[in-house]
Structure formats: C-alpha cells, structure tokens
C-alpha cells in the first residue's frame, strides 16, 4: 500500500517536473518576439535634420560594419554616415567633465549629435539625450518571420544582433539525415547478421561491443573526429577545410549505430518461427528467407530504428560541435561547414546574459529542437505500433 | 619579519571570519587563478580560495549577485555592468593581475609571415578571401574564430577588428586547442590563440599596427616591452566592501612569488 503510493507520487512529481520544464522552455523562448531589434536598453539617435526614420536590423548591421557608408542607401540624403559608439564619448570628455554620476552625460551627447548632422549614435536609453536637434530612431520588435526565415545568425552583432535560424535548422537536418543514410545500411547489416546468422558465442561478443559503442562519451567521439576523421575527409575529397557537414554525419552515423542495431535486431528476432519454417519448408534458402520473409515482416521495426537514429543524431551536441566547423551559413553541399541547433545552444548559452534577447533566442531554438524530437518519437511510436497490429506480410 | 607579518595578517583575517574566498569568471584566467590559489593555500594554512570558470560575463554577474568575492575577467568591465553594480549600491575595484598576448597563427606551410591590422580585419570580416591578396599563394583563406561565449572572441573583435562584426558563417571552434588542431591540418587556415598555447604545429605571424612600418613577433619579451600590440590585461574585480577579505590574496598574486607563477603558467607579468 505504502509502496504503491510512493511509486505513484514519484510518477506524479516526474510528470509535473517535465511539464514545468517544457512550460519554462516555451515561456522563455516566446519572450524573443517581444524584444526590440536593437540591443536591450539601447537606442539609435540621429540628427533631427536627417530624413531617415527607422532602420531594420540588416541595415543597422551593415552601417556599423561600414558596408553601407552613405545615408542615400537607406533612404536619406547623399551624405556619408558618421558612426558614433557610446564608449567614444569617454575619449572626448574626461569623467570629471561628465559630472557626478554622469549627470552631464546626456547634454554632452546631445551636443555631439547637434554638431554632426550625418551622425548615427548608438547610446543607452538611460543617458538618452533630449534636445531639439536630436531624433531617436523608431525601433520595432523582432518579427517571427525574421527569426524563422532569417538567413543570418550573428547573435553578438552590435548594435543590432541577427537571429535567423534557417542556417541552423537546415544544418541540423542535413547532418542528421545523411548520418542515418550512412548508418542504416550498416546497422541493418549488423542486425541481420546478429539475429539470423551469428552463433550464440559470436552474438554475445558482438552485442557487447555494440553496447560499448553506446557507452563512449560523446566528447571522445568528437575528439576522435577532429583528430582522425577531419584530416581524412579533407585529403580524400581534396577540400580546403576538413570540418564539414559530411564529417559530422560520419561521426553521428557511428554514434547512431547502437540504437539502430539494437532496435532493428529486436524487430528481426520478433519474426515468428512459424513463418521462417514455412518459408524453408517451401524450399527457400536461408538467404531467401531473410530478405523475402524476415526483413519485410519486421519492416516497421526497422523504420522505427531509422527514426530513432535520426532522433539520436538531431540531439547530439558535443561531437558535432567539435567536427562540424560551426559556421552559421546555409549549406549548399555536404562538404561545407555547418552549425547545428544543439551545438549553438551549448556554445553560446554560457555567455548570453540571462533574460536578454540572445538568451531568449537560444531558448526558442530549444523549443524548435523539442518539437522536432517530439515529432520523431511520436512517429517512431506510431510506426512500431503498426508492427503489432498488422500481422503477416 | 615577513613571517610575523604573514601570521599577523592571517590572524587578522581569521579574526574577521573571512577565510574562504570565491573567485569566478574568465576561462582564460582560470589556470592562473587556480595555480595561484593552490600556492597561496600552501603558504597560508587555514585559508581557502575556491576558483571556478564560466566566462568573464558569468563572473561579473556573480559579483553583482553576491555569489563570488572576486570576478576574474579577460576584458574590461562593460559600462552596463558597472551601471548595474552602481544601482545595486556596489562599487567594483579593479586590479590587473597579469597580461595575456594573442598570437595570430597560420599553417606552417603558409609562406605569409607578416600581416597588418587592416589585413587581419579584412580577413576576419570576409573582405580578403585569398592568400595571394596579402602576398601568399593562390589559396582560399579559412579563418577560424572562437565561440561567442569566449572573452578572446570579444577582445579580438574590439581590438583587431575595431568592433566590426565577423563575417557571417565564420568557422567557430569551442576551444583554443581545437583552433590549433584545425589550423595545423588546414592549409589555408588562420586563427588566434593565447601566447601560452603556441607550439610547433602552427606558425605565428608578425603583426603590424602601424600600416606595415614595423612588424613584431608575438613573444613574452615583445609583449612586455609593449612592442607587440595585441595584448590584453587580465582583471580581478571585487567589491570595495570586501577589500579586507580579498586583499591578502591579491597582494600575494602581485608579489614576486605570485608573478613568478604568472610566468610559469605562460602569461605576462605586470612589471
């Protein structure tokens, strides 16, 4: 009685914890769309004579990278853009001149903006200058289309970070799908050998080797990939860089093998003896029995193995972080560096200020990863259930 | 005499009940702080100093939250961070404990030996894409950067690239060791690492900050006599209130013995 209540209590606590974690994830993630495109607490100021009213994130970035140098390109007059970052005020005035607790700072900033009609100044709201000659540029919130269809991920760009997740999700899917395409034939081969051909002794040894493969920490795989696989891929394919999507797929394929092998093997072994015997009695050879009877019978189990393999690959972090080159660009081929969602979260969360826009964007990525893996597990569940309902060929 | 002062200081701090100090922050300073703490605890029995990493930003927010006594940082405290501390009624004291130089490294097979700051900026912002543009072979340049969470990433961006953004889609590596590994096996590669990490598998280039008039090799000696330009201070930040608590450890680092450890760990002494 007591045991029963303890068990149901622990079940309830676990469920509540999981629900809370998911809620937390989505709450933090969706905060992103309430955040301004300019870094929180800051705004852009121009001289009042400037015709430009607002700039989008892309334009802001290009202006501050000096790729756009004339106001004409963003809808203003044909004048050169003068950049002014907040820190520069401390080169113009000493701390004493700025008064106690920087009380004179807004006035000094207003002076600078008034004097320079071509200026764009990136300043904290706290010291926002107020003068007739100073105009604050309107700032919009980050749009969901900028996030879901944005093609650039530069989270630390100042003043206006770019959070486009397209390169990340494409990178993740590319790497995972190719990994499963490599791992499935190999895994299926091993599974068939283990369940149909190997004798008990060999089976035991091989099975434990496969399990050992699952027990190796992923950072070890990553290191192996970086030191061994990267130079091999580089020289075999004659590439300038060895850290590519393909390298990551290879490592992930090795890491997904144990999952694929054990699920597929279970499915193969579940083929009833009656069916094998019937096949053999009809004069089929052992090989014919395997590929005409056993494999088709366990089709859905094998499909489930593939799907679970994808799930394993999508969520892998450390190994991919080390071998994929982590370049946030949309991949055009298998032999380019890519950046995946888990690697991005792992690499960037440490320094993202808690509650900031970057932090929220990373949580939003987490939400997407959660949705992907949930879909993967649900489809694996549905597929493997099918096996038990549709008996026969 | 020294011993008696030491004992007096120890007794004094013990009397004030402040014998455990916490240091948190930059991963760059981590090996240095750890070694210093070890030696300090050996010399001062009964004192404990615990050191953890996490990144410069993490250290400073911990100082703000009061969960650390000293924040170690590989960059200067940001204006916002200073403001937040002030709003919380705290004032941060700053101490420079050592310097770290960044070396720009290329593959040993690369024949380029000199690069100016402007060229480096062009390479990392993506304007210069082939080694022949800077006097090398006809080979695509593959720049390697650190991850955004690293203080080194920020420092290089501010100091060498004059606050411009890295080119989009730059390769970013999770650790300095990974940069060395990748640069050593990729012909067109270029990256940056702390001076202490230099080894024979990569080649450090000479850097010029005066548009090519003079090029300086990255070395401890050149960093010390200020001819090598890419040098950054490593900071400790502590609250003025806890000065008495942390002073003896900071004094230890600044002492001759402490600075000797700085050299041993591969950083540059403050004197």
The CA distance from A216 to B135, in Å, is 45
Question: Do residues A53 and A175 both lie within one domain?
Answer: no
DSSP class of B216? B
pLDDT at B215: 93
What is the extent of the structural domain holding A129?
42-140
Å from A333 to nearest chain B CA? 14
Of B153, B170, B187, the CB nearest to A327: B170
Residue for token digits 């950067």?
A: B145
Identify whether A385 is preceded by a cis peptide bond (ω within 30 of 0).
no
CB of B142 less than 8 A from some CB of A? yes
Contact B229, B214 (CB under 8 A): no
Tokens in use for B69? 């006594």
Distance, first Cα to last Cα, chain A: 46
Does residue A253 surpass a pLDDT of 90? yes
Closest CB to A322 among B139, B154, B174:
B174
Look up residue B199 and give its DSSP letter. Answer: -
A157 in contact with B, Cβ within 8 Å? yes
pLDDT at A73: 86
CATH number of residue A109's parent domain = 3.40.190.10
Check: CB of residue A178 under 8 Å from CB of residue A191.
no
For residues B248 and A45, give the distance between their C-alpha atoms in angstroms, rounded to a whole number: 47
Asked if A230's CB is within 8 angstroms of B58's CB, the reply is no
| A126 plus A261 within the same structural domain | no
A67 near B CB under 8 A: no
In a domain, A74, yes or no: yes
A82 at the B interface (CB within 8 A)? no
Cβ within 8 Å of A, B 45-74: 54-58, 61
The confidence score (pLDDT) of residue B20 equals 78
Predicted confidence band at A393 (pLDDT cuts at 50, 70, 90)? very low
In a domain, A150, yes or no: no
* pLDDT under 50: residue ranges of chain B: 11-18
Q: Are B132 and B160 in contact (CB under 8 A)?
A: no
Residue B39: strand, helix, or coil: helix
| A228, A308: one domain | yes
Q: Residue B14: its pLDDT value, please?
A: 47
Which among A85, A240, A321 has the least Cβ separation from residue B174?
A321
Which residue in this structure is represented by tokens 């480096």?
A: B120
Q: What is the pLDDT of residue A230?
A: 92
B166 inside 8 A of chain A by CB:
yes
Q: How many folded domains does chain A comprise?
A: 2
CATH number of B100-224: 3.40.190.10
End-to-end CA distance of chain B: 25
Interface contact B148-A327, CB threshold 8 A: no
The answer on A368 and A234 residing in a single domain is yes
Q: What is the ipTM of this complex?
A: 0.76
Residue B20: DSSP 8-state: E
Rg (CA), chain A: 29
CATH number of B2-99+233-265: 3.40.190.10
pLDDT digits (tens, 9 = 90+) for B28-37: 888 899 999 9
- What is the pLDDT, as a whole number, of residue B7? 61
Report domain extents, chain B.
2-99+233-265, 100-224
Which tokens belong to B61?
């927010």
Residues of chain B numbered 119-138 and touching chain A (CB < 8 Å): 125
pLDDT of residue A62: 86
Which residues in chain B have Cβ-Cβ distances shorter than 8 Å to A326?
A: 147, 171-174
Structure tokens at B190: 């270029």
Q: Helix/strand/coil (H, E, C) string of A32-62?
A: HHHCECCCCCEEEEEECCCCCCECCHHHHHH
Q: Determine the distance in angstroms separating the CA of A207 from the nearest CA of chain B, rounded to an integer.
A: 34
Q: What pLDDT shows up at residue B17?
A: 45
User: Residues 216..235 of A with a Cβ closer than 8 Å to B: which?
Assistant: 226-227, 230-231, 234
Residue contacts between A and B (CB atoms, under 8 Å): 102
* Alpha helix (H) residue ranges in chain B: 2-15, 30-43, 56-65, 79-87, 117-125, 151-159, 176-185, 220-224, 243-254, 256-265
A321 neighbourhood in chain B, CB within 8 Å = 174
Alpha helices in B44-168 (DSSP H): 56-65, 79-87, 117-125, 151-159
Mean pLDDT within A186-203: 92
Q: Which two tokens stand for residue A383?
A: 């597929």
pLDDT value of residue B5: 61
Kindly tell me if the per-residue pLDDT of A181 is higher than 70.
yes
Residue B8, pLDDT score: 56
Q: Tokens representing A265?
A: 């093997």
B94: left (phi over 0), alpha (psi -120 to 50) or beta: beta
Quote the CA–CA distance of A153 and A162 in Å, as a whole number: 5
At A117, which helix (H) or strand (E)?
A: none
Contact A325 B171 (CB under 8 A): yes
d(CA A337, CA A168): 11
Which stretches of B146-267 are DSSP H helices?
A: 151-159, 176-185, 220-224, 243-254, 256-265
Q: How far apart are CA B42 and CA A305, in angstroms?
A: 56
Contact B169 A226 (CB under 8 A): no
Q: Span A229-243, mean pLDDT? A: 90
A263 contacts A304 by C-beta, under 8 angstroms: yes
Does the fold of domain B100-224 match that of domain B2-99+233-265? yes
Which residue of B26, B169, B177 to mutate against A (max A Cβ within 10 Å)? B169
pLDDT at position B85: 85
Q: Residue A59: its pLDDT value, please?
A: 85
Closest CA to A32 of A167, A152, A163, A154: A163
**Average predicted confidence (pLDDT) for chain A:** 88
**A5 assigned to some structural domain:** no
Mean pLDDT of A241-256: 93
The CATH number assigned to the domain holding A304 equals: 1.10.3720.10
The 10s digit of each residue's pLDDT in A299-347 is 888 988 998 899 889 988 889 998 998 888 899 999 999 999 999 998 8
């Amino acid at each position: 009685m007591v045991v029963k209540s303890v068990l149901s209590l622990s079940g309830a606590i676990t469920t509540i914890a999981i629900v809370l974690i998911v809620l937390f994830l989505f709450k933090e993630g969706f905060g992103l769309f309430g955040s301004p495109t300019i870094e929180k607490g800051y705004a852009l100021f121009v001289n009042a004579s400037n015709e430009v009213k607002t700039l989008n994130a892309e334009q802001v970035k290009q202006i501050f990278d000096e790729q756009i140098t004339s106001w004409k390109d963003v809808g203003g007059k044909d004048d050169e853009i003068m950049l002014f970052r907040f820190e520069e005020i401390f080169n113009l005035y000493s701390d004493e001149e700025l008064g106690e607790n920087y009380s004179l700072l807004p006035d000094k900033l207003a002076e600078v903006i008034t004097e320079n009609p071509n200026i764009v100044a990136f300043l904290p709201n706290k010291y926002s200058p107020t003068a007739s000659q100073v105009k604050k540029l309107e700032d919009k919130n980050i749009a969901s289309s900028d996030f879901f269809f944005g093609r650039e991920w530069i989270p630390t760009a100042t003043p206006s970070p770019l959070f486009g997740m397209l390169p990340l999700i494409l990178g993740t899917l590319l790497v995972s799908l190719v990994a499963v395409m490599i791992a499935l034939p190999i895994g299926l081969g091993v599974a068939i050998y283990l369940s149909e051909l190997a004798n008990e002794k060999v089976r035991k040894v091989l099975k434990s080797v496969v399990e050992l493969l699952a027990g190796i920490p992923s950072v070890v795989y990553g290191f192996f990939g970086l030191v061994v696989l990267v130079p091999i891929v580089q020289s075999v394919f004659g590439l300038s860089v060895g850290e590519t999507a393909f390298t990551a797929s290879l490592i992930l394929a090795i890491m997904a093998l144990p999952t694929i092998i054990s699920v597929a093997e279970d499915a193969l072994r579940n083929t009833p003896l009656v069916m094998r015997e019937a096949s053999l009695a009809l004069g089929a050879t052992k090989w014919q029995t395997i590929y005409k009877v056993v494999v088709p019978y366990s089709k859905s189990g094998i499909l489930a193995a593939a799907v679970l393999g994808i799930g394993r690959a999508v969520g892998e972090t450390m190994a991919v972080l080390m071998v994929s080159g982590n370049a946030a660009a949309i991949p055009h081929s298998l032999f380019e560096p890519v950046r995946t969602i888990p690697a991005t979260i792992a690499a960037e969360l440490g320094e993202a200020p808690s509650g900031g826009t970057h932090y929220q964007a990373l949580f939003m990525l987490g939400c997407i990863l959660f949705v992907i893996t949930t879909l993967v597990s649900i489809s694996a569940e549905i597929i493997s259930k099918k096996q038990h309902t549709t008996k026969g060929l | 005499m020294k011993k008696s002062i030491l004992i007096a200081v120890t007794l004094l701090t013990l009397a004030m009940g402040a014998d455990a100090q916490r240091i948190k922050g930059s991963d760059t300073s981590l090996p240095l702080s750890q070694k210093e703490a070890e030696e300090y605890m050996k010399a001062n029995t009964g004192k404990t100093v615990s050191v953890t990493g996490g990144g410069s930003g993490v250290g400073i927010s911990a100082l703000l939250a009061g969960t650390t006594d000293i924040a170690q940082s590989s960059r200067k405290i940001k204006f916002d961070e200073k403001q937040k501390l002030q709003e919380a009624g705290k004032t941060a004291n700053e101490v420079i404990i050592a310097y770290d130089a960044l070396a720009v490294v290329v593959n040993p097979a690369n024949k380029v030996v000199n690069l100016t700051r402007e060229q480096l900026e062009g390479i990392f912002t993506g304007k210069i894409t082939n080694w022949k543009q800077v006097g090398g072979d006809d080979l695509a340049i593959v720049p390697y950067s650190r991850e955004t969470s690293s203080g080194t990433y920020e420092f290089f961006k501010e100091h060498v690239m004059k606050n411009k953004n890295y080119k989009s889609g730059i390769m970013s590596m999770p650790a300095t060791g990974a940069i060395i590994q990748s640069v050593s096996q990729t012909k067109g590669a270029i990256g940056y690492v702390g001076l202490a990490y230099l080894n024979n598998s990569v080649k450090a280039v000479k850097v010029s900050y005066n548009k090519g008039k003079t090029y300086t090799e990255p070395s401890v000696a050149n960093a010390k006599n200020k001819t090598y330009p890419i040098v950054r201070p490593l900071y400790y930040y502590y609250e003025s209130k806890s000065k008495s608590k942390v002073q003896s450890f900071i004094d230890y680092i600044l002492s001759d013995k402490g600075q000797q450890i700085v050299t041993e760990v591969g950083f540059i002494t403050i004197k």
